Amino acid sequence: MYSLLIKNATVIDGTGKPGEVLDVAVQGDQIVNVDRGIKTSAQTIIDANGKVLAPGFVDIQNHSDSYWQLFDNPQLDSLTTQGFTSIVIGNCGASLAPLLSHDALLSIRKWHSLEGANINWQSFSEYIEELSRKKLACNVASLVGYSTLRRGIVGDQIRPLEKGELASLKKVLEQSLEAGAFGLSSGLSYAHEIIISELELFELAKIVAKKNGLFSVHLRSEGGEVVEALEEALDIARSSDLNIKISHLKIRNDRNWPKQEQILQMLDSAYHKGTNVHFDVYPYDTIWQPLYAYLPKWAIEGGRNSMIKHFSDPTQKNKILSFLNSSEVKFPSLMVASTANSLNFVGKTISQIAKNLEDSSEAAILHLISNGGSEVLVFEKNLDENQVQEFLFHPLSFVATDGSGFKNTMKDRLVHPRCFGTAAKFFKLSQESKKLNLEQAIHKLCGGPAKKIGLQKRGEIKIGNFADLVIFEPGKIKDLATYENPYQFSQGMEYVFVNGKAVVKDGSPTGQLPGYALRKK
């Protein structure tokens, strides 16, 4: 007797090949039979006639660690209700291990306050052991954050590494990869990675390539210097024979949108010349980022304490205000998503806040950064919707949330609707545009990213693989989350199974936590 038998489903196996009406049998956490007309009985039988059965989706760009939701909300509801069964964390240079000093964790402070955090690990090995003991709804794979490594050695100092420090960093990275980390991530536009040289990046990239890991790169620029930033990443990949992924690829601000054709030509050319390069995209035209990221680079070097000192110096403050005033960003329209302190500004635009303060939008930004604590996040609508879709449908792209798993009951802050609606919105865009068939769309959500990160026995429906599965009717998939009201689960995912257990049944979370902490092998 099987533990689960799904009958008469249109099985789209995640490879991109056409769907086929089949039965799929599960025993424990594994798929044990895929065939027509399976007769053996099962503890649970689901008739999926007229519905699609696909592999569980893999979110290759996730921040459930940075937002601390692995610990505050291990059900990760907003992700499972979309169909995500595995997530890759430790992105954009910030991971929760290894912790070479107390300063190492400061890399996540821009996303979540560390006040009251209970941390009982230091090495990456200890971290994975802790996650293995914890019950989670999704499978979790982690990268090592470059900023986490670096800040563990130099703290808030912004400077090149000394020879001995670089040797220590390389050694700890290698130990982390041996302990099961899936690769390295960088956040090259953030304060503590801005000055990292291409040579330093290359030194670590060689280690990642040697261990067959992934290098996930948040580019130094997604605006005026995006071409140069992409060329830097591709140079490193070419010179080290590296498996590289560009995180949340986008082109910000309308004056830079004409660069898309060149960007895609660079990616296509690199790929066809043998570089193992892909990129991930979320299907929205609005970004979600720390407010301090709009400041000039020199003002954020040295971390928050140094930045606040600049605000107190009239000369430095005026230089910052002048920089903001000449920026291409439309600051009055930015919407505040969250602050670390209890300011009554969530949901308000910078224009509204400036009016209340009887000051300029630029001055209001400095006021918010100073008084809102380390975590001040904003929404900015600055992407071209047509370009977003062109990135989504490109053969080298994967679809990812660049978000986190949240409950639908949180009310103290706004989160990006991509945390709740990415997969559903992508399916809708695919169907409307007719640029991708369903098999291709599903491949971008499971088989493609699973192979890229190196997840074994996941991302495809076949005998011997883990039973991460979703059942849905494509015509009923719908995203509901908005910027004003993001806490709305997507509709249409009838069942979501993680390791053979239902985490979503009849469209609602079940509360089961069958996820595994995954190790690279």
Q: What average pLDDT is seen over the chain?
A: 93
Question: 501: part of which helix (H) or strand (E)?
Answer: strand 501-505
Q: Which residue segments constitute the domains of the chain, with CATH numbers given? A: 57-285+383-456 (3.20.20.140), 289-380 (no CATH)
For residues 150 and 188, the answer to whether their CB atoms sit within 8 Å is no
- Tell whether the model's pLDDT for residue 177 goes beyond 90: yes
The pLDDT tens digits of the residues spanning 58-85 come to: 999 999 999 999 999 999 999 999 999 9
The pLDDT tens digits of the residues spanning 355-384 come to: 999 999 999 999 999 987 777 899 999 999
What does the pLDDT read at residue 304?
81
For residues 200 and 192, the answer to whether their CB atoms sit within 8 Å is no
Closest of 33, 58, 1 to residue 451, by C-alpha: 58
> Rounded distance, CA 245 to CA 216, Å?
5
What does the pLDDT read at residue 187?
86
Closest of 40, 35, 89 to residue 62, by C-alpha: 89
Cross-strand pairs, 10: 21, 52
Closest of 273, 210, 221, 212 to residue 246, by C-alpha: 221
Q: For residue 17, how far is the Cα from the chain centroid?
A: 27
- Tell whether the model's pLDDT for residue 244 goes beyond 80: yes
Phi, psi of 287 (to 5 degrees): -95, 165
The pLDDT tens digits of the residues spanning 507-519 come to: 999 999 999 999 9
pTM for the whole thing?
0.95
When pLDDT is cut at 50, 70 and 90, the band that residue 110 belongs to is low
